[in-house]
Chains A and B, each alone.
Chain A
Amino acid sequence: MSEAVSALNAATASGVATVEEVGLRGMITLRGDLSGKAVAAAVKAAVGAGVPDVRRIVQGDQGAAAWMSPDELLLLTGYDRAAEAVAAAQDAMGTAHGLVVNVSDARAGFRVSGGGAREVLGKLSPVDFSAEAFGAGQFRRSRLAQVPAAIWANENGSLEVICFRSVAQYVFDLLRVSGETGGEVGFYRA
């Protein structure tokens, strides 16, 4: 059995913000009718969370659920229990039309924390990352420079990014350079 490793093996960089690759994480794509009982049961069974509202992420006792599109959620959980969570979700979906698939190894994740976190993201994306516009629990898909990414705000003020694994190095370098000391813009003043 080969040993699973994340895209950048927990690389870190620090400047006006700290950028860390979050390492291995269970990620599950769930598609179906988000207003239906089957999807609600599947999310509950997989990560113990409710179905998130539009552009929100909600925490559960086994992970989190994020709104990706009108018919798609992203479930986050421990890497080692992803297969088990997929099975639980599929069970709960029953015969309802939908799809549950483990995408843990197809994506990479980064955490950006510290005082400059919002600015580091703000320089890379056409999104208002001010604390008023993008508070804890908000979830937004957009682009970071030239590649798509999903970004959300944690309770502790840090921001998290998910991108395709194939562009992990590109996204890490973007975040690292955007967060270099001396590159402050001072747009999002506390």
Chain B
Amino acid sequence: MLILTCPYCGVKGEETEFHSGGEAHLKRFGPGSSDADFEQYLFMRENPKGVHLERWRHANGCGKWFHAARCTVTLEVFGTYSAQTTEPPQHIRDAISARRPGWTWREFS
């Protein structure tokens, strides 16, 4: 079972209280971008076995979007953090490193 803690209301809830919002920290390429960039933005997603960064919404709760860093193999959650950021904050990176030394995900490590 996946247990997430909402960083906005502090609820530690199980997966059915939340809704997955897909991969985190996508950089949007819109009108005027190259076809290659747009294709990457629209279709290409990480599908890691291990550390993953995702967006989640506390749908049956306070309703807020947030980010989560978790392991896709064990469902261990390294931490959840604010939606108002374009990259994982240092304390989240440290929490992942403590459990998965040498991890990388896209340009982050």
Contact = CB atoms under 8 A, between A and B. Distances in A.
A161 interface: no
Nearest to B59: A148
Contacts of A69: 8-9, 62-64
Interface stretch (B13-21, B71-79, B93-101): B13-21
A70 B9 CA distance: 7
Interface bracket on B: 10 to 19
A69 B59 CA distance: 11
A54 B10 contact: yes
B13 A142 contact: yes
Nearest to A141: B61
A130 to B, nearest CB: 14
A69 B17 CA distance: 15
A127 B14 CA distance: 9
Contacts of B40: none
A70 B13 CA distance: 17
Interface string A136-179: 00001111000010000000000000000000000000000000
Interface in A32-89: 54-55, 67-70
15 contacts: A54-B9, A54-B10, A55-B9, A67-B9, A69-B9, A69-B63, A70-B9, A126-B14, A126-B16, A140-B11, A141-B9, A141-B60, A142-B11, A143-B16, A143-B17
Interface of A: 54-55, 67-70, 126-127, 140-143, 148
Interface of B: 8-11, 13-14, 16-17, 59-64
